[in-house]
Each structure stands twice: as structure tokens, then as C-alpha cells.
Structure 1
Amino acid sequence: MRVYHFLNEHYGLEAIEKKRLKVSRLKSLNDPFEYYHIDTDNSGTRSILKDRLNRTNRELGIICFSKDFTNPVQWAHYGDSHQGICLGFDIPDKELFGIDYVKSRTAGTEFKNSLDLKGRDYIKYMLSKKHEHWQYEKEVRMIVPFSEKVMDRRLIFTPFNDYLSLKEVILGFRCVVKTKRIKSILGSKYHSCQIHKLEMSSTEYAMRLQEIY
């Protein structure tokens, strides 16, 4: 599946240069309701969920992608007000899971069923639901296990590879980075990676490709 990851200019160029993406730690995601889609009115439920989150946070993280690069709101929120860079990757479908956008939180009666899940299955279930206000993101996610338990708040990165294959570099409408610089950073190994520049659609509230180099 072709998916897209938005970054500001600085981190976009750094990702291309170092051929890697930062992995999001589970306890630092921008939505405070992440992981807590289950009704936590019960104090025992809250305590158990918090404990499992603390343990899982040491063992794995996620990278978030979108199935669309044309939404101007995403560029405003994640692409530094259209000044940033969006990276397009080909990732095997089996490595990704989607988001179910819902109106209300999951009933507390589902809590016991969630505890029967382990490892990736558990975190996939806990991170697969968000409020419908987020549906414009068209988000999919990839779980990244850590090579060792991470007990502190250090940054974790994962390299580009066959499961995270860079195919496109898309420059925001207001991005001032020159194409020659992108080509130079990519180097010969990524000569087939396409570079695009966006412009405003003249007929829709959407961004569109301006030209391909």
C-alpha cells in the first residue's frame, strides 16, 4: 500500500538524509484519548490499562501514515502550514492496520476481552479506534517493536527498508526546498524515487501535484 508521512522541512530533510523515520512512543501521541477508547469510568479498569500501557511503551511504538496527501488540513497540522515535506512509502498491507473512527467510546464490558489479547494484537486493538473528528486523516499505522526494552524517554528511529520503502518526496505548497537538494540527499540508491511539488486545486478544496521531476 502507498501511504504518506507528513513532516516539517527540517525533520523531512533529516529523514531523507539519514534514511529513517522516528517511531512514536505510545505515551507521547498527540490525542489524549489514544489507547483509552474503552470507557474508563471504573477505577480498576483505569489502573490496569495504565499499567499495561506503561509496560508496552517500553517494548514497541508506532509510525502513523495517511492514505492521502491532498488534504490541506493535514498539511496545515502536520506539514508545517504547507511549508513541510510529505514522504510516500510502499508498505506491505500486512504490516499496517487502519483506524475505526467512532462517535462514542467502547463499552466497559469489552475491557475483559481486551485483556485476553497479547503483544501486537493487544496494542493494535487499543490503538485502532479514535473519535470521528479525526477521520479526515485517513490514518493507517505500523507497529515497530524495539530491539530491547526502552526504560527512558529516548527517541527511537527505524531505517528505510523493504517494509518501509521510500517512493515519493512531496514538497508542500509553501516549501522552499529546491528539487536539486532533494536529489542530492537521496543519492543514487533512490534515483527512482519521484519528487513532486504541490499546488492548490483550482476547482476543489484540495492540493494537487504541480509537476513531476
Structure 2
Amino acid sequence: MKLFRFQAINKLTLQNLNNQKNWIADPYEFNDPFEFSLYDKLFIDDYGDSRPLTQIETININKFREEINDYGVVCYSSDYTNKLLWSHYGDQHKGMCLVFEISKEKMEVIYKVNYQQRLPEINITDDSDTFDDIVKIVTTKSTEWKYENEYREVFLSKNMLDDYPGELVEIVFGCRTPFEDIKMLTDIAVSKNKEILISKMVISNSEYNLGNMRIGDNTKIPEVWKENNFKF
């Protein structure tokens, strides 16, 4: 399966591309203030019945909050053509999108985000599976974010680097990515993999859509890519 990772182009992302690494981010620094939120006022059983938390359950909730603070994530999407994703995470279309080919085995530990109206609920008991509860909290967001079609790789730590989840098979540049940035990043990418695909988003002449223009020879970047917001 292919997953897409949007990024701005800066010193950190250049270093990470050169080292073929992903940065494991701290979700508390994301643009969603509800990251890692949970509903913890009542115990809700499998039948939907609820009651106030006991003292032990309150203690377990507090332990859970302490544990989840250490977790980090790497975020991906299953869609690289979404205009809002390019605006929000691709530096207003001036950044790039890394395309990974990920094995079926690896996808078993990359989780699709669930979107819902209510905060997620967990049942904290002495014999609860804390990791499953943590994954539930880490991968639940408001329906307002549904357009992101997000997947998350979950880690026991954060603010550190980790290997790519699969092969980096393509780099897609935004419709406003500066030509010099395209050349610099292409040189780095091709030095790691001569077969990597290089492409650029272009704007439709007739619709509010983005398309993708690929080049066949990585050594010959089209001169037309110097034009911002190139239309097809």
C-alpha cells in the first residue's frame, strides 16, 4: 500500500531525506488541541451502561495519562491530491510529499485514524490492555479532520528519528515549490535511489483540482516547473 507524508522543505527535512529517516513527532504540538483527549468521567461497560469511576479506576486513569505522554507518532495520508493537505502540511503548496510503498506486514502496525463526534472512551481496569487503549486514543480524532484520510505509526517515544516504514518510491513537489528546491531535493533523492519517481502537482485549467506531472528522466527537470501554479 502507498502512504503519503506531506512536509515543508527546511533544514530538518533535508537532513532526514538524506539520512532516510522520519521524525517522530510529539502530538501535543500538533494543530489539533484535542490530540490524546479522552472521556474519563464515567466507566462505560460493553452494554453502554455507565457509573462514576471508582478510586482505583481514577488512579489507573492518571497512570494512563502519564504513560501516553511519552508516545509519539508519524502521520501519513492515503491521499496526495487533497488541496487542504498541501495547504496545511505541504507549506502552502511550496513543500513536498514523500510516497512510501509499505508492505502488508508493516501495515499491521500502522493504524488508520478513526473519526467521530465524541471523545473516545476507555475502560480502565486492573487487567486492561493499556497499549490497545493508547492506540485507540492516539488514532481517534474529530470528524472535522476526516478529509485528511490519516494513518498513524505509533511509537513508545517521541522527538527522535526512525527508519522509513517502507521504500521511498516517489517525491511529489507542490505546485508552488521553488525550482531550486526541486533540483536540490531531486539530487539527494536520486543519490539514494536512481529509480525514484519525481513529480510535481499542477493546477487544472477547468476545475478546482490538482493533477500530477511526472518526469521520465530524473536528470532533466522540465523548465516549465519554474512556473508557480503551472496549469494543465
Question: What's the TM-score, normalizing by structure 2?
Answer: 0.74
Q: Deviations over 1:168-189 (max 9, x none)?
A: 1110000014444223212443
Q: Does the aligned pair in 2 maintain the 1:68–1:138 contact within 8 Å?
A: yes
Task: Tell me how far apart the structure 2 counterparts of residues 140 and 133 of structure 1 sit (CA, whole Å).
Answer: 16
1:52 aligns with 2:67: no
Q: Does the aligned pair in 1 maintain the 2:97–2:172 contact within 8 Å?
A: yes
Amino acid at match of 2:118: S
Aligned positions of 1:141-156 closer than 5 A: 141-146=152-157, 155-156=159-160
Distance verdict in 2 for CA 1:115–1:73, change over 3 Å: farther
Q: Deviations over 1:56-78 (max 9, x none)?
A: 333x4210100001011111111
Q: Does the aligned pair in 1 maintain the 2:171–2:198 contact within 8 Å?
A: yes
Q: Report the Cα offset of residue 24 of structure 1.
A: 1.3
Q: Which residue is 1:174 aligned to? A: 176
1:103 aligns with 2:117: yes
Number of equivalent positions: 200
Q: Deviations over 1:80-111 (max 9, x none)?
A: 110111111122321211111112234x5x43
Task: Tell me how far apart the structure 2 counterparts of residues 203 and 184 of structure 1 sit (CA, whole Å).
Answer: 33
Deviates more, 1:30-39 or 1:190-199: 30-39
Aligned positions of 1:126-141 closer than 5 A: 126-141=137-152
Q: Which residue is 2:162 aligned to? A: 158
Q: Which residue is 2:6 aligned to? A: 6
Distance verdict in 2 for CA 1:32–1:79, change over 3 Å: same
Larger Rg: 2
Task: Tell me how far apart the structure 2 counterparts of residues 133 and 115 of structure 1 sit (CA, whole Å).
Answer: 34
For structure 1, the residue ranges without an aligned partner over 5 or more in a row are: none
For structure 2, the residue ranges without an aligned partner over 5 or more in a row are: 43-51, 217-232
Task: Tell me how far apart the structure 2 counterparts of residues 5 and 125 of structure 1 sit (CA, whole Å).
Answer: 21
SS in 2 for 1:112: coil
The one of 116, 137, 140 equivalent to 2:128 is 116
Amino acid at match of 1:158: D
Task: Tell me how far apart the structure 1 counterparts of residues 126 and 140 of structure 2 sit (CA, whole Å).
Answer: 13
Q: Report the Cα offset of residue 114 of structure 1.
A: 10
Identity percentage of aligned residues: 25
Q: Which residue is 2:19 aligned to? A: 18
Q: Report the Cα offset of residue 31 of structure 1.
A: 1.6
Question: What's the TM-score, normalizing by structure 1?
Answer: 0.80
Query: What's the RMSD between the two structures over aligned residues?
Result: 2.8
Task: Tell me how far apart the structure 1 counterparts of residues 61 and 168 of structure 2 sit (CA, whole Å).
Answer: 35
Determine which structure has greater relative contact order: mean sequence separation of CA pairs < 8 Å that are 6+ residues apart, divided by chain length: 1
